[in-house]
Amino acid sequence: MKFLVYFLFLPTFLFSKSIILNVDSKFNVPSEFKEVIENTLEDDKYTLIDPIETDVWEIETNRSEINCKKDSCYIELGEKFKADYLLDVHIERISEVYTSKYKIKLIIIDLKTVSKIKKIFYYKYKLSDIHNLRIYAKKIIDKFLEEMEKVKEKKRIEELNKIPKKLTKKDIVSMIREVYPEIKKCGKEFKYSGIIKIRFKVNNDGSITDLTFITKNIDSVKDCVSAAVLKMKSIHFRSEPIIINFPLKLD
């Protein structure tokens, strides 16, 4: 009969992470192995809550909720238990002949993005060898969490590199062109003709701030033009925010 253990890790402070831990094996895994995993995760800012002692007992009795096969199931699982990750630890005997050789497969799933990280380790001692088992459990969890952070950092850099380094003149003209019809309406509505010079900041998150009017004595049309200009949205970019001076022809 398979040996299954489920735990739910929930944050006890503002920036902690929450994770559901599932240890899955056909063998009776010593409690020391699970304890080391728990302690190691707690050291890495996770906190253990045993669902048997909470109102989420159904996670223990309904295995299908853990072994999701569809992305929607994982997302539902995360929302239901307010968990960020699911960590599966699968223990398999490599061969019936070599009873003291095991394959340990660790899979962590981001329950928000459903991205997965998998790593396989091997254990050459008997599960009853508590001393080596404790050392091994600590080692693989530490290494796995380290590898997980490397993968996350690599993905972060890859996503960052997709963002342009800076805005081009074409980008600036394009963002202003999007709101120019509204700016023209301001001139027509308030019977203003001529050019208004403005200055504004484009932030690297695409937002527009610090709008000022270089042209003076335009109170009649100022609010209307300001509302139109602040609707502009830039693409995201990596360099520092830039200041743009731009003339707007209202007629």
How many structural domains compose the chain?
Answer: 2
Strand order in the sheet with 85-93: 48-49, 3-9, 19-25, 85-93, 102-110, 116-123
Domain C-terminal end among 118, 133, 161: 161
Q: What is the pLDDT of residue 81?
A: 76
What tens digit of pLDDT does each residue of 207-238 get?
999 999 999 989 889 999 999 999 998 888 88
Q: What is the pLDDT of residue 59?
A: 45
pTM: 0.56
What's the one-letter identity of residue 124?
K
Q: What is the pLDDT of residue 165?
A: 86
If asked whether residues 85 and 123 sit together in one domain, one would say: yes
If asked whether residues 194 and 150 sit together in one domain, one would say: no
Closest to 48 (Cα-Cα) out of 91, 94, 6, 97: 6
What tens digit of pLDDT does each residue of 86-124 get?
888 888 888 765 556 889 999 888 888 888 889 999 998
If asked whether residues 210 and 148 sit together in one domain, one would say: no
If asked whether residues 152 and 41 sit together in one domain, one would say: yes
- What is the span of the domain harbouring residue 96? 3-161
Domain C-terminal end among 99, 127, 161: 161
Which parts of the chain have pLDDT scores under 70?
1-16, 47-69, 96-100
If asked whether residues 96 and 199 sit together in one domain, one would say: no
Q: What is the pLDDT of residue 198?
A: 94
What's the one-letter identity of residue 64?
S
Q: What is the pLDDT of residue 66?
A: 54
Closest to 109 (Cα-Cα) out of 118, 122, 120: 118
Closest to 65 (Cα-Cα) out of 145, 8, 18: 8
If asked whether residues 88 and 193 sit together in one domain, one would say: no
Q: What is the pLDDT of residue 37?
A: 86
Domain C-terminal end among 129, 161, 193: 161
Q: What is the pLDDT of residue 68?
A: 65
Closest to 81 (Cα-Cα) out of 46, 109, 115, 51: 51
CATH of the domain at 148: 3.40.50
Q: What is the pLDDT of residue 57?
A: 41
Q: What is the pLDDT of residue 96?
A: 60
Q: What is the pLDDT of residue 47?
A: 66
CATH of the domain at 231: 3.30.2420.10
Q: What is the pLDDT of residue 45?
A: 79
